[in-house]
């Protein structure tokens, strides 16, 4: 995809939308695999002789909750902004002036896919949670605490309470 073609598309007032049907590189690991297709959309804004590229990627991974280990699908939506130049000289010129990543436009059809894929790789969930308040597993017996308390959890509360009482006794 030529950047000029992309600019034409976005000038019509709609972002360029595309999807990646399957992985170029195999980045599946034991505990995480990307679900294809990956959807992304790109908006382009021209400023002088450079462009701002706003890329939003929506994807999902098949993984396990980092607390309770239950299988889950984690949905990720991530937006990255880039400053795009056509020459290396311009890239050097602008890289000191912006907090956005400066990229040099590559005139090949797969470039936007590669860019979207690099956003996916840098945003993969490290500690996915099945829910924000997942209680996890009991460290003693392995019971899923989301399904109910076990006797060990009562004990740990008791011992913490005992430690507190110990503090008060010293006063
Ligand atoms: Zn969980
Ligand atoms: Zn337990």
- Cα(136) to ligand 1 centroid in Å equals 6
- Cα(145) to ligand 1 centroid in Å equals 9
**Average confidence (pLDDT) over 110-136:** 93
- Cα(55) to ligand 2 centroid in Å equals 45
Is residue 74 within 8 A of residue 81, CB to CB? The reply is no
Is residue 55 within 8 A of residue 34, CB to CB? The reply is no
Q: Which range is least confidently modeled, 55-69, 71-85, 106-120?
A: 106-120
Quick check: 124 pLDDT over 90?
Answer: yes
Is residue 61 within 8 A of residue 125, CB to CB? The reply is yes
CA 9 to chain centre: 27
The model's pTM: 0.78
- Cα(35) to ligand 1 centroid in Å equals 20
- Cα(146) to ligand 2 centroid in Å equals 12
Quick check: 169 pLDDT over 70?
Answer: no
Q: How far apart are CA 14 and CA 74, in angstroms?
A: 28
**Average confidence (pLDDT) over 145-158:** 74
**Average confidence (pLDDT) over 129-151:** 93
Question: pLDDT category, 63, cuts 50, 70, 90?
Answer: very high
- Cα(129) to ligand 2 centroid in Å equals 20
Q: Which ligand is nearest to the CA of 63?
A: 1
* Model pLDDT, residue 171: 45
* Model pLDDT, residue 2: 73
**Average confidence (pLDDT) over 1-12:** 72
Q: How far apart are CA 96 and CA 122, in angstroms?
A: 23
Q: How far apart are CA 62 and CA 20, in angstroms?
A: 17
- Residue 68 region by backbone torsions, left for phi larger than 0, else alpha for psi between -120 and 50, else beta: alpha
């Amino acid at each position: 995809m030529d950047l000029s073609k992309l600019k034409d598309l976005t000038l019509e007032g709609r972002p360029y939308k595309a999807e990646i049907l399957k992985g170029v590189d195999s980045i599946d690991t034991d505990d995480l695999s990307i679900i294809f297709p990956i959807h992304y959309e790109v908006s382009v804004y021209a400023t002088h002789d450079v462009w701002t590229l706003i890329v939003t990627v929506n994807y999902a991974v098949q993984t396990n909750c980092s607390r309770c280990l239950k299988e889950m699908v984690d949905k990720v939506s991530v937006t990255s902004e880039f400053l795009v130049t056509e020459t290396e000289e311009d890239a050097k010129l602008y890289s000191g002036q912006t907090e956005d990543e400066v990229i040099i436009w590559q005139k090949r059809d797969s470039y936007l896919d590669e860019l979207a894929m690099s956003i996916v790789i840098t945003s993969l969930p490290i500690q996915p949670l099945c829910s924000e308040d997942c209680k996890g597993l009991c460290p003693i017996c392995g019971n899923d605490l989301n399904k109910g308390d076990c006797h060990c959890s009562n004990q740990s509360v008791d011992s913490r309470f005992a430690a507190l009482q110990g503090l008060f006794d010293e006063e």
